[in-house]
Structure 1
Amino acid sequence: MSDRTPVQNAELALLLEVTGTPKPGNVDRERDFADLRFEHFMAGAVGARPGLALASEGEPVGHALERAVAGMADQSAGNTQFGALLLLAPLVAAASEGDLTPAGADEVARRTTVADAADFYRAFEHVDVAVADPPAGMEPLDVRRGSEAIPTLEERGLTLFDVMEQSVDADGVAAEWAGGFRRTFDAADALLADDGPVPDRASRVFVELLAEEMDSFVLTRNGPEAATEVQRRARAVLDGEEGAAALAEELVDRDINPGTTADIVAGALFVALERGLVV
């Protein structure tokens, strides 16, 4: 068993996630986007560590997240791992409390406050994040408004968990928060049950998750037709009908980026590392 702390494992999880190759549509150690490169993800992981350390020290999850995002953004490409940090903040807190289980992580999420929600909104001022338009009547709570939305949050008494609950239909990371981090822990089990180099395991689990559900980031950025196609073709990779590397090249060329799936893999890698995944 490693003597790494939860914070060290969280940083390592972010680094291992981006080294997994191939991950169709995502930056990995063999593929870059024109304005988003492998090195940016490495810098983002290192920059996020002080914020994640706050989560391990018992600081409020929202504050830890906002600081982690600010540190992540201290590189030239902007947003690299916002969704992954949104998963890691409560997971690191649960691990530091000695209860890194679905129930333990769910308890951390449910005890968040209005102040945590306010810090979550402030985090959007550090980077541009592609999010779906809010439903009719919810425009005052559009996260892209950043701190301008905080008075509405406070007026309505919405905690960070409440905000996540309201976003489950549009965002896969929010669905993890509201659903006991089910896919994250299931993916961690898959990583632990697999063998071979950890980045290769991460790549395989990524494709499995992509085949299981439509990626909400693709749905937001590219639309339902693209999201359905990516899911179908990930299933074809699992069935041996298509090559993962060729699909990875094509999706990068088409600027189709299943970022939510990558976020869940990062969270799963953290859980697996805490449970004894050997690197």
Structure 2
Amino acid sequence: MVSWRRSSLMSQPTAEPVTIAELAQFAMLLEVTAKQKPGNIDRCHDYDDTCLTHFLASAVLAGPVFSRVAAGGISLGEAMYDAVARTNIHNGGNTHFGAFILLLPLIAGKGIASAAELVKMTSVNDAVLFYQAFGLTQVRVRSEDPMDVNDPSSIQRLIDEEITMYQVMEYSASHDMVAREWTNGFLLTRKAADLLFELGDGAENITRMFLSLMAKYPDTFIAKKFDEATAAAVMQKAAAVLAGAQTLADFDEECIRKGINPGSLADICIAGIFIALLEGWKWDC
């Protein structure tokens, strides 16, 4: 018989610190598994063609790309294409395209301040790779947009006119709140993170942070899918929920029934959770 004894000389093992890439993955997981984010996929409900598992898979599969970005070994355009290509292996359609637009520079910059400067240094090649990544998705675009991601001439225009990835975001900022984050210093990302610190620990505070953003900012994805009036109406109903004039469950059910999903705010929510985690926010059940 072999007996085991703890050596007095043995030191306690040292745990490896959590990486920035892992925090980004964790932020994606926390957002999609939060309860009752009105209109969006969460632990309470799926869509007919996309489900929670597709989002979980996306968060896991993006890990190696996040690690490369954190190490500084890949450009934002390359990272965008790789992240979309890696997570496009399921049939659930687009899951985290908008989240990648926000997370990749935030990971590279290890926070908002540096990210806001890094995005300004993107290249024409980054823009081309971004458009190619866009073409792999089923992301909703405006029908009147002259820069159609599915039209090869759009990529040639990027090259001919030397349009960088940052300039693509500048072009889209007026009608896309995710692109606008690149041009306004990640303003709503900052607000989302600050809200989590104000609200404190607890998974329910992710939903409350999400509702707070919904009540103040019309979701541009809803505006693209429906119209600006619908986006404004959803904003007002979110405010009613916060004021106690409507239940969260009823609001969630109405959004799901009508196919209203505030996807852009969900992406910003993910970015806000990531920044909060990076700055020491502790999540609790």
| TM-score normalised per structure 2 | 0.90
Q: Deviations over 1:101-147 (max 9, x none)?
A: 3x311101101111111110011232110022345xxx2x22243x5
Identity of aligned residues (%): 38
Aligned counterpart for 1:4 among listed residues 7, 18, 34: 18
2:88 corresponds to which residue? 73
Aligned counterpart for 1:158 among listed residues 136, 160, 163: 163
1:191 equivalenced with 2:196 (yes/no): yes
Q: Deviations over 1:248-276 (max 9, x none)?
A: 11111111110000000000011011111
Q: How does 1:1-279 map to 2 (within 5 A)?
A: 3-58=17-72, 59-95=74-110, 100-101=111-112, 103-135=113-145, 139=146, 141-145=147-151, 148-197=153-202, 199-279=203-283
Say which SS state the counterpart of residue 8 (structure 1) adopts.
helix
Between structure 1 and structure 2, the one with the greater Rg is 2
User: Is the 8 Å Cα contact of residues 48 and 70 (structure 1) preserved in structure 2?
Assistant: no
Q: Distance in 2 between matches of 1:51 and 1:131?
A: 25
Q: Distance in 2 between matches of 1:222 and 1:208?
A: 22
User: Is the 8 Å Cα contact of residues 39 and 262 (structure 2) preserved in structure 1?
Assistant: yes
Q: Distance in 2 between matches of 1:94 and 1:72?
A: 23
Say which SS state the counterpart of residue 242 (structure 1) adopts.
coil
User: Is the 8 Å Cα contact of residues 50 and 71 (structure 1) preserved in structure 2?
Assistant: no
Q: Distance in 2 between matches of 1:253 and 1:174?
A: 28
| TM-score normalised per structure 1 | 0.92
> Tell me, which stretches of 5 or more residues in structure 2 are unaligned?
1-15
Q: Distance in 1 between matches of 2:167 and 2:282?
A: 36
Are residues 134 and 181 of structure 1, via their aligned partners in 2, closer, same or farther at CA, if it must alter by over 3 Å? farther
Q: Distance in 2 between matches of 1:66 and 1:150?
A: 14
- Give the aligned length: 267
Q: Post-superposition shift, 1:148?
A: 4.8
User: Is the 8 Å Cα contact of residues 214 and 231 (structure 1) preserved in structure 2?
Assistant: yes
Q: Post-superposition shift, 1:193?
A: 2.1
Q: What RMSD, in angstroms, separates the aligned Cα atoms of the two structures?
A: 1.4
Q: Post-superposition shift, 1:162?
A: 0.4
Q: Post-superposition shift, 1:175?
A: 0.7
Stretches (4+) displaced over 4 A? none
Q: Deviations over 1:159-191 (max 9, x none)?
A: 110000011111010111111101101110111
